Structures are given as C-alpha cells and as structure tokens.
Copies of this chain bind each other. A is one copy, B any other.
Amino acid sequence: MNLCYAERTSSIKASEIRELLKLTEMPDIISFAGGLPAPELFPIEKLESITTRVLREDGRAALQYSTTEGYAPLREIIAKQRMPKARVKATLDNIMITSGSQQGLEFSAKIFINEGDVIICESPSYLGALNAFKAYQPKFVEIPMDDDGMIVTELEKALEENPKAKMIYTIPDFQNPSGKTMSIERRKRVAELAKIYNIPVIEDCPYGELTFEGEQYPSIKSFDEDGYVIYLGTFSKTFCPGLRIGWVCADIEILQKYIIVKQGADLQCSSIAQRETALYMQTYDLDEHIANIRSIYKTRRDVMLDSIEKYFPKDVIFTRPKGGLFTWVELREDLDAAIILKDALEEKVAYVPGSSFYANGDRANHFRLNYSCMNENLTLEGIKRLGSVLKKHY
C-alpha cells in the first residue's frame, strides 16, 4: 500500500511537545517539558456538584446536539465576565466556543492563509500554533523580541516588505515559550499597524489572567476599534484543560467565518462541558480560583528562578516571567539544547529544546522550562541536576 497523501500532510510533523509528554510519564523523571496546569488545583468536588446539577436540571439538552457557535449562556458570561479582564467590550454575538484555543489557531490559518501567504510571528513562538499553521503551507516571517515582547519597528518593516503577509500571530502575555510580555505601548502600535496594513492579528491569550505582579495588561484587542484583532481565550490554564473549552472573540462578520469552519470541523463543542463551565462561573467565583493558581505559580516561579541563579552556569541567560507558566533559557551560541537533552535525560530531568519554537527552525541554543506543575522540592532538585549537566558543557 502506497497511498497518495495531500502535499500539506508532508509539511506537518508530530509536535515535540506531545512526543515529550510520553517521557513525562516515565518514572523518576523530573520533567519541566510539559505545559500542564497543576492538577492539584482543579476544582474536582465543585465540578462533581456542577455536573450533577447540569444532568438533573437539563440532562437531555446537555447530552444532545446543539448549535455550532456554542451554548448562549456560556458565550454571554465569557463576554460579560472574562473579556472585560482583557479590557474588551463584547457581547455573546462576538463569541464562538472552540475546543481549546488550539482549535481557534487552526481555524485562523484555515480562514486566512492560502499556500505561500506569509504569517508574521514572534521569534520564538508557540510550536503548537506553528504546526497548526504549517498545514496551510504558509511562509513565516519571524520578528525578534526584546524584554518588551515583539519589536514593533521590526514588525512594521516586515509588513512593508511582505505584501503577501495575511496574518500577524502573537502571544502578548507571558509568551510561550519565552515568558516575555509585550508592553502596552507596543500593543497599541500592533493594533494601529493592523489597521494601516489591513491585516488580521491573532491575539492568543491563554496566560493573560495568570499575572503575578500588578494588574493584567490590556489586550491588543482593547485598542482595536475596527475589528482587525481576533482574540483567542481558553479555560485550559485558569480552570481545567480536560473539558476542552476555549473561545474566539471577534467582529461579528469575521466570527461568521469561524462558525462556518467549525461546522465542518466538528459541528460543535461538547454540550455538557459548555454547560458545566457556564454553571461553574454562575455558581462559584472563578476569579478567586485564579487568584489561588496565581499565588502558587508565583511561588514555583520564584523557586525555579532562584535555583537557576544558584545552580546554572553564570553566563546562561533566562527570562524572569511576570506570569504564566514558562521561562526560557539561552545557552552559549555553539551549544545545542537537543543534544544536551540526552545528557539531561540520563540525569532524569527533562525540558523542551528550543529549535522547534522557531518558525523557520534555525536556532538550537535555547530550551523551555515549565514551572506550573512541579512542587518546590522537585523543582529545586531538577534544576540542580540540570545545572550540573549544563556545567559539563560550559
């Protein structure tokens, strides 16, 4: 058998992160490789009571087919309760429910990208997005970042030089993988540039609410008066990923495209998971729950950064993220983090090598560390082990 696959199939490959999840499950490994929220914080008992209520009060509807755009009360509470956190004014007509924000990413490329079109993204960027986009055979133009996120003068240059640019992709808050956050001034400028160059911005916001210091920044979409910014939200990091509930917040005309694409893709999200999420937010205080997540992740970040400071070679560079789940480590330019990973695995510690976070894949001397799902003692021990592995190469 030698079947003929579509060309796009050859340009996508299995994500290293997903493959690495398998390592995570090996006994004794201290893995900083995943991007998992801390499962001990999941509100299991509350969800049990919520589910019972959903099934008893409305079981038939909760188990039946429903509309593609999603359960109206959930869309409503997202518009009224979650979007204001990002300073966005929205109604339920701007919201469609997705299977995590990953589905919103895939749909975005499907809606906007012809083969050969250019996607402008941060360098580095979320590899799950890059892989989803690659199925639509784009070219990528990478914009360098500094401590204030994507450098917008470079973005403007790229927009000028690439008339086939069809989409800007950014994770402004505590970016995956770099941990960096875009400044407010730059957010304004990205919104302006979108309008000037008539190009949509896909603003991917899984971590915005997980800020450790001060208030959440206003989203790029909050500066967007004309509908150029498409905001992707999710409950995966603030509630639980296993329900697979995220959302797209967009201009009504654009949202219509997402709804049509969702119809073909999987008809709708789980009716019962949507009702559970809505009833949870109607019954309990999600903000209080998020405050708890924040405080625990902040402690874990502190332990990780302190341990890196103590045990890594002195000239290793790393991000001091102000929220989110990740820090990003830069090694000496001649070192390859994928090769060093083999040594690390022998010492029973794991991370994700950085090269697959670069859209055009040419930089090997970085890796990503996750601090959200590991207790403080194991974090300290893991970083210590990793430090001694690194010191052999320095």
Report which A residues bind B (CB closer than 8 A).
1-9, 12-15, 18, 21-22, 34-37, 39-40, 42, 44-45, 47-48, 51-52, 55-56, 59-68, 98-100, 102-103, 106, 110-114, 117, 128, 131-132, 134-136, 166, 198-200, 226-228, 236, 240-244, 251, 253-254, 257, 259-261, 263-273
Contact = CB atoms under 8 A, between A and B. Distances in A.
A332 B267 CA distance: 33
A111 B5 contact: yes
11 contacts: A4-B198, A9-B110, A12-B260, A14-B260, A48-B56, A51-B55, A64-B242, A103-B266, A241-B271, A242-B271, A243-B270
B36 A131 contact: no
B112 A4 contact: yes
B52 A48 contact: yes
Contacts of A254: 3
B3 A198 contact: yes
A1 B244 CA distance: 32
B114 A7 contact: yes
A63 B51 contact: no
Given A3-B198, A39-B61, A265 B103 contact: yes
Given A42-B60, A44-B63, A47-B55, A265 B106 contact: yes
Contacts of A132: 264-265
A310 B65 CA distance: 32
Contacts of A240: 63-64
A242 B66 contact: yes
B198 A264 contact: no
B112 A241 contact: no
Contacts of A226: 1
Best-surrounded residue of A39, A64, A236 (most CB of chain B within 10 A): A64
Nearest to A21: B67
A143 to B, nearest CB: 20
B198 A2 contact: yes
Given A1-B198, A39-B60, 13 more contacts: A3-B228, A5-B112, A6-B111, A9-B112, A14-B260, A18-B267, A52-B52, A63-B240, A63-B241, A99-B99, A106-B265, A135-B264, A244-B267
Contacts of A267: 18, 100, 102, 128, 244
B263 A14 contact: yes
A1 B250 CA distance: 13
Nearest to A43: B63
A11 to B, nearest CB: 11
Contacts of A244: 266-270
B21 A44 contact: no
A143 B349 CA distance: 57
A63 B263 CA distance: 25
9 pairs of A and B residues whose beta carbons are closest in the complex: A242-B271, A44-B59, A39-B60, A63-B240, A132-B264, A63-B242, A99-B266, A103-B266, A42-B63
A44 to B, nearest CB: 4
A275 B357 CA distance: 32
A9 B51 contact: no
A110 B264 contact: no
Nearest to A164: B4
Contacts of A269: 99, 244
B67 A42 contact: no
Nearest to A253: B1
Contacts of A259: 14
